[in-house]
Structure 1
Amino acid sequence: MYHYIVKKLVKKSFKLVNERRFDELIKDMAPNVKHTFAGDHAMGGVRHDRIAVKAWLERLARLTPNLYITVKHINVIGWPHNTLAIVRWTATATLNNGDSYLNKGVHFITLKWGKVVELDVHEDTLVVFNGLEKQYQAGIKEAKAPQIIS
């Protein structure tokens, strides 16, 4: 039953990302949440608190305003004091130049007593880099901004 509840919470969190409801999303994170996104680009880096994670999410929304993440599979391991949710997903968008964006990835989400304490995101970083380059060429200068780190 516990794993079923966690799966529902994880699905809800991706729905909140898709709906750009970031204030609501970060409420379920520990104040010192760790968020890691691989890559040497504007979306890469490591954040260590909710404020930086929210700033990162807001940048994601500005850089890919119609990004939509579809959850494909969720696996939950552990119990309330130490839970790992492994989420496979597909992200799609239309870039400003009209090109389609498609990336597949995995989130490793660690929860302790109902709070997200770590988000480790793995996806094709070359796809992210190329998408950011296209957005930059289309006039979104933030696509080459320094990483949001904390």
Structure 2
Amino acid sequence: MYSYIVEQEIRKSFDHVNNHRWDEVVNGAVPHVHHRVSGNHALGGERHDKAALRRWFERLGRVLPTLQIKINNVWVKGWPWNTTVFVEWDGTATLLDGDGLYVNRGLHVFTLRWGRVHAIDEFLDSQEAARGLAAQAAAGLKEAAAEPIVS
């Protein structure tokens, strides 16, 4: 039963991302959350607090405004005091150049303690992320070429 509840909450959080409800996403994190995304691009890097995590999600919404993430699988392991959740996903977005489509797939690894997010590690094709962001920047969205948000 616990695993089912956690899975449903994780699925809700991805729905919040797809619909740009950043407050809903960030509210589940502890103040000193650790968020890491692979790659050297505007969405890469590491954050260690909720404020930076919120800024990262806001940037995600601006640089890939049509991003939709489809969950393929969710695995929940552990107990309420120390839970690991693995989420396999596919993400797509229409790029501003009119011809391009951003397609990426990846895995999120969440560390939860008593229902609160302590860490999020995102593993994705960082070359595809950099390519998509470079296309957005070339189409005039300068933030897509910005330095990563880190804290």
TM bin (shorter chain):
over 0.9
Which residues in structure 2 correspond to 1:1-150 (within 5 Å)? 1-98=1-98, 99-150=100-151
Structure 1 gap ranges (5+): none
Letter in 1 for 2:117: V
Q: Distance in 2 between matches of 1:25 and 1:41?
A: 22
The alpha-carbon deviation at position 58 of structure 1 amounts to 0.5
Q: TM-score, normalised by structure 2?
A: 0.98
Per-residue CA distance 1:50-108 (angstroms, 9 max, x = gap): 11001000000000100000010000000001000000000001000121111000000
Q: What stretches of structure 1 move > 6 A for 4+ residues in a row?
A: none
Q: Quick one: percent identity of the two aligned structures?
A: 45
The alpha-carbon deviation at position 25 of structure 1 amounts to 1.3
Per-residue CA distance 1:24-62 (angstroms, 9 max, x = gap): 111110111000001111111000011100100000000
How many residues get paired? 150
Q: Distance in 2 between matches of 1:42 and 1:67?
A: 15
Q: Distance in 1 between matches of 2:147 and 2:95?
A: 21
Letter in 2 for 1:53: L
Q: Distance in 2 between matches of 1:128 and 1:25?
A: 21
